[in-house]
Amino acid sequence: MAAPSLLDLGRRERQIMEVLIRLEHATVGEVLDELPDPPSYSTVRAMLGKLEAKGHVRHVEDGPRYVYSPAGSTETAKRTAVKQLIDTFFQGSAEQAVVGLVRLSDGKLDEDALRRLTARIRQAYQEGR
């Protein structure tokens, strides 16, 4: 069975997932503290339960409280986020995204960083990616 996609989540669900990915694990209260324009405690608790039912979140019991964490890997979440960014703002072109990121660096990429990027691009090309 395929892993559930973060792209199918609503705005608030994505915000909660972003908090969990950033913190790696958190209680309802800790998630609530990190949300912009936070809803009620019970709303966050209910949304975490829904995210768990969808397969995005898991929990462990720590005494009387639940500690939540992302069910999937951080790498998968990063790839999903980057894919969404590329599809939304760069018409699906990884090349345009890389050019945009290099321009965004505003000349702050030193020679070593450029060498490393070149080596990674060369390696991806040789691997057929």
For the chain, domains (ranges, CATH) are: 8-70 (1.10.10.10), 74-126 (no CATH)
- Report the C-alpha gap between 106 and 66 in whole angstroms: 44
Residue owning tokens 């915000």: 15
State residue 1's pLDDT score.
Answer: 45
Contact at 8 Å (CB) between 82 and 75?
Answer: no
Q: Which of 66, 78, 60, 85 is nearest to 22 (CA)?
A: 78
**Which own/partner contact pairs does 83-90 have at CB distance under 8 Å and 24+ positions apart?**
84/7
Which residues of 6-115 form beta strands (DSSP E)? 57-62, 65-70
pTM: 0.68
Residues in contact with 77: Cβ distance below 8 Å, sequence separation at least 6, in sequence order? 6, 17, 21, 70
Could you report the per-residue pLDDT of 18-58, keeping only the tens digit for each?
999 999 999 999 999 999 999 999 999 999 999 999 999 99
Q: What is the average pLDDT score of the chain?
A: 88
